[in-house]
Structure formats: structure tokens, C-alpha cells
Amino acid sequence: MKRECGILLPVSSLPSRYGIGAFSREAYKFVDKLKEAGQQYWQILPLGPTGYGDSPYQSFSAFAGNPYFIDLEQLIREKLLTRAECNKADFGQHEQYIDYGKLYENRFPLLRKAYERWKVKQAHEDRHPERQEDTLSCETREYCFYMAVKNHFGGKSWELWDEDIRLRKPEAIARYQEELSDEIRFYEFQQIKFEEQWRKLKAYANKKGIRIIGDIPIYVAFDGADSWSHPELFQFDEEGKPEGVAGCPPDAFSATGQLWGNPLYRWDYHRKTGYDWWMKRMEYCYQMYDVVRVDHFRGFDEYYWIPYGDKTAEFGHWEKGPGLEFFEVMKERFGQLDLIAEDLGFLTPSVLQLVKDTGFPGMKVLEFAFDDTQSSAYLTHKYQENCVVYTGTHDNQTLQGWYKTLDSPGKKFAINYLGNTWTPVSEIHWDFIRLALRSVARLAVIPFQDYLGLGDEARINEPSTLGKNWRWRMDRKAFTPQLARRCRQLACWYGRCGQDEQAADAVSGQAEEQTADVGNGHQDEQAADAVNGHQDEQTADIVFEN
């Protein structure tokens, strides 16, 4: 098995001129930097269109792309927009954080202008009898129809629409398709441009030797095309209301549990259809990505059922999921696929057995390893090769933020485990990155914020909170040549570089960098700073303390 490494960075976190990361030249430059840094993977978050709360894990469709990621520069080159029009739009003045309110108010008017010009261009240039929209999948077109009707009802979720269209009566479907045909086509235009641009970027990455790790939430949103178009797939009553919803039970982190509110699958129906909808979903994902990380993998073994209407998750119960049969059908349909099982949290023996039986690598997160029990399964000496190690995920604090809030027993144990008494706090993230890279895990993925040594101001998401998540963006000058060389040297030293000539170069080259900022890189003043950074009791009695 190859030893490889990659970087986790959402597309939205890329720099750009227009308020949010996109499939722009900055994305191509980031791919170039990944190659330069000796990486083989770029892990991103779900690319679906987002709604309330801006979470990529609550998308309007499992088969559509986020129009925010469409690169306006490419639309300018296609003469669908002018630079003056794009520059005039107010996307917010803070380059470090996304302003979703301004993005929503200004992005769609620009896309509508581009659409109107595209229609004219299509009328003049398209000589084929079939429209370009017909290249979209049926499920993607269902999303476009859903959004057109949703806009017709002022953005309301489908449960609040008029009864005839809410229940998808045939005469209502036909009427709205005719009345809203131009609005439907506007959303089809967005999906055409999204797919065109993403496929070009992915092809460029693959040509550079960079594979894309995508992310698939196990559940879909209630306010979305999937649940409205195919109510038979979900645990809905005759009026289209959920019988139960998804979440997690109470635990040490939440006394009332987590109430996600997603509709639950009617797995007995899926089984009768040979999991047809799910197979279409997986096929779509593998057209978009090279590797898929399945979020909340436990839900395929058992899922937590909460009565619809409950205000907390306290009174739910566990029910059986499809189990191994689902993955056997998937393997029979597609062959062996590259899939990462997100198997974090409390795991029962049956979940662990399911991960083992599928053969998919699970996840290890270093930030979960250093508790006062000193027996965590996330400690690197307990790893098997068939796993993916992360310093943290999009739901975690950055390494710097986490380390500064780590309790004293956990911090003492971490210092002893790493043997890094003299590392200054400002450089501590490098020790944990090295720990991940030198582990036996086949793949190591490091969030880019950790390579930058940023604090919690760069955190992507804090679960169960609203208003401050999914906003962070990297500085356009952050991925410096020096940082890329350092990343590559570490990758090569720990057998993850992937190219013999790079490994040889890493061993022999850049002597100044190796002494100044790689190795341990802890110069005299850093050693002095470490004494203060780790506090007196740590230097006095932590080392080799049980």
C-alpha cells in the first residue's frame, strides 16, 4: 500500500476577487502548490448548493452544484458578463471571511445577467436540436425545477407550498413546469456552468497527479429536491410530513443530544429497489470525485430515530440500517471503489465489524487522542495501515486553537507522548503534523490552517452553532514557496512524497531551510520561549511523568 498525503481545504476557503472561493485561477494555483508541496490529494467539503445556515451538509440537492463556486472570470471571458459588472457588485470588504448575505444578494443578479446573454448566444450558435440542458441528469433537473417552484413561493420549504404541488399531483407538475420554464432554465444554466468548470478543474488536478477527495453526507436536507421529488424514499406520512428525523443521542458533549432534523430513509423500500437511488447518488459522486468520504458511516449500521416535532434528541432510539448488504450491492454495481468511512464518535462492536467487513479505511483524528485516560484508540501507536489520519477535521478546532484549550492532564500527556518539551507553543502544530505523517496510516490529510499554524479564527465549523461557520478564507499569499518546500520535505522524509527524485531532493537540498525551519527548527530564542509557552510546571515535572 502506498504511503500518501494530502491537504484539506474547502473550495469556499480559496481566495478570489468575488467574495468566496471558486473554480477560479486561484484554485488552479492551489493545485500547482499541492504538486509542489509533494501532496497527492486535495480533500474538499460537499459541493452542493447550500441553504439556511450555509452548511454544505444541508444541501438543496445531492445531485447539484453550488452556484457560488462558478468562476465569474470565466463568464467574463465568455462575454456573458463584463468586468465592470462584477467589480460593481458588493461581496463584502473582509477578505478573510465570507459575507453570505452580500454574496446571496449580489451573486444571483450577476448570474441572471449571464443567463440572459447565454440564451441569446445559444439561439444564435446552437444548431443541434437537443438543448445543452439535456446533458444534465434527471436528478439535477429535478433540483432546477424544485428551486424554480421554491422561488415562486418566496423561498419557502416545500412543506409550505400549495397542496397540489406539495404532493406532486401530475396536473400541478405540468402547470408549474410550463409557467416557470424560464426560471427552471436559469437554474439549468447554473448547473451547466458549474459542471463545465468543475470538470476542467478536476481534470487539471488529475493531470498534475492530484486526486480529489469529496465528501458525501449520509442524509439529505428536508428542504430539498430529493425529499420532495422522491417522498417514497423517506419515512414520511401521507401528508409528506416526517415520521421521525435524524440526530444523535445525549452524550458527554450534549446533555440533550443533537437534533439534525434530516429525513430518515425507508430502508426497506430502498432494499426492494436494489438501492437504485443510492447507486445513482454514488455514481454521481464518483463522476465528481476520485475518492469519497462518507459522513456518519455509522448510520449504515444503525441510525438514531427521533420523533418528528421533538425539540431535543433525548427521546429517540436506535434502529437498524441496511448494513453490509448495501456495500455488497455497491461493489457488485461499480467494483471496488475508493471510499473513506467517517467512523468517528461512539462506535459499537457492530459498527466496527461493518467497517472491517467492507475493507474501507476508517478515520483517526489526533485531536481526539490526548485525553486523561491515555488509552485513546486515536493514539498513533495503535493504528493499522488501512486508515486515514487527520490532525483535525472541518468540525474541529485548528491545532493551535485546540492545544491552547487542552486541559492540563491532556497537555502533559501530549508533551510526553511527542517528547517535545522544548517546542514553543507557536510551533507546536508542526510536532502534531509530523506525528500524523510518520504514523503507519496509509493516508495522512492535514487541514491547511494547521500547516499555517492558525488559531480558532480560522476554524471552519463549530457544530450546533449558527452564524459563524463555513466563513474562513485563506490569504492569497499564504501558500508560500517556503511553506510548499517544507511540506514536501516532511512528506518525503516520512515516505509520502510519491516520487523518488523528490525524496532525493528533499534529503540533499535546501540546507538553510533544514536548519532554519524544518528539522525541529527550534532556535535558541525558541527554546527560551518554549519554557514560558509550556509554563513552569510543564518543564519541571511533565517529562516522563505517568
Q: Which residue has the cell 499555517?
A: 452
Q: Which of 295, 301, 427, 450 is catalytic?
A: 295
The C-alpha cell at 261 is: 432534523
In the three-class reduction of DSSP (H, G, I as helix; E, B as strand; rest coil), residue 227 is classed as helix
Give the DSSP H or E segment for 14: none
The C-alpha cell at 18 is: 468575488
Between CA 64 and CA 283 the distance in angstroms is 13
Between CA 448 and CA 418 the distance in angstroms is 21
Q: Which of 395, 456, 505, 513 is catalytic?
A: 395
Between CA 378 and CA 364 the distance in angstroms is 5
The C-alpha cell at 396 is: 474541529
Phi-psi region of 68 (alpha: psi -120 to 50; beta: other; left: phi over 0): alpha
283 DSSP assignment:
H
- Residues 261/222, Cβ–Cβ less than 8 Å: yes
The C-alpha cell at 480 is: 508560500
The total number of residues written for the chain in this structure = 546
Residues 6+ apart with CB under 8 A from 224: 51, 59, 60, 61, 62, 146
Between CA 214 and CA 58 the distance in angstroms is 15
The C-alpha cell at 402 is: 485546540
Backbone angles phi, psi at 263, to 5 degrees: -65, 150
Between the alpha carbon of residue 541 and those of residues 420, 421, 427, 538, 545, the distances in Å are 14, 10, 21, 6, 7
Q: Which of 183, 223, 301, 342 is catalytic?
A: 342
Could you confirm whether 276 is annotated as catalytic? no
Could you confirm whether 395 is annotated as catalytic? yes
- Residues 413/370, Cβ–Cβ less than 8 Å: yes
Could you confirm whether 71 is annotated as catalytic? no
* Angle (nearest 5°) at CA 226 between 220 and 228: 115
265 DSSP assignment:
B
Between CA 179 and CA 171 the distance in angstroms is 12
H helices within 289-398, ranges in order?
324-334, 349-358
Q: How many CB atoms lie within 10 A of CB 52?
A: 11
In the three-class reduction of DSSP (H, G, I as helix; E, B as strand; rest coil), residue 244 is classed as strand
- Residues 76/236, Cβ–Cβ less than 8 Å: no
Q: Cα 245 to the chain's mean position, in Å?
A: 23
Active site residues: 295, 342, 395
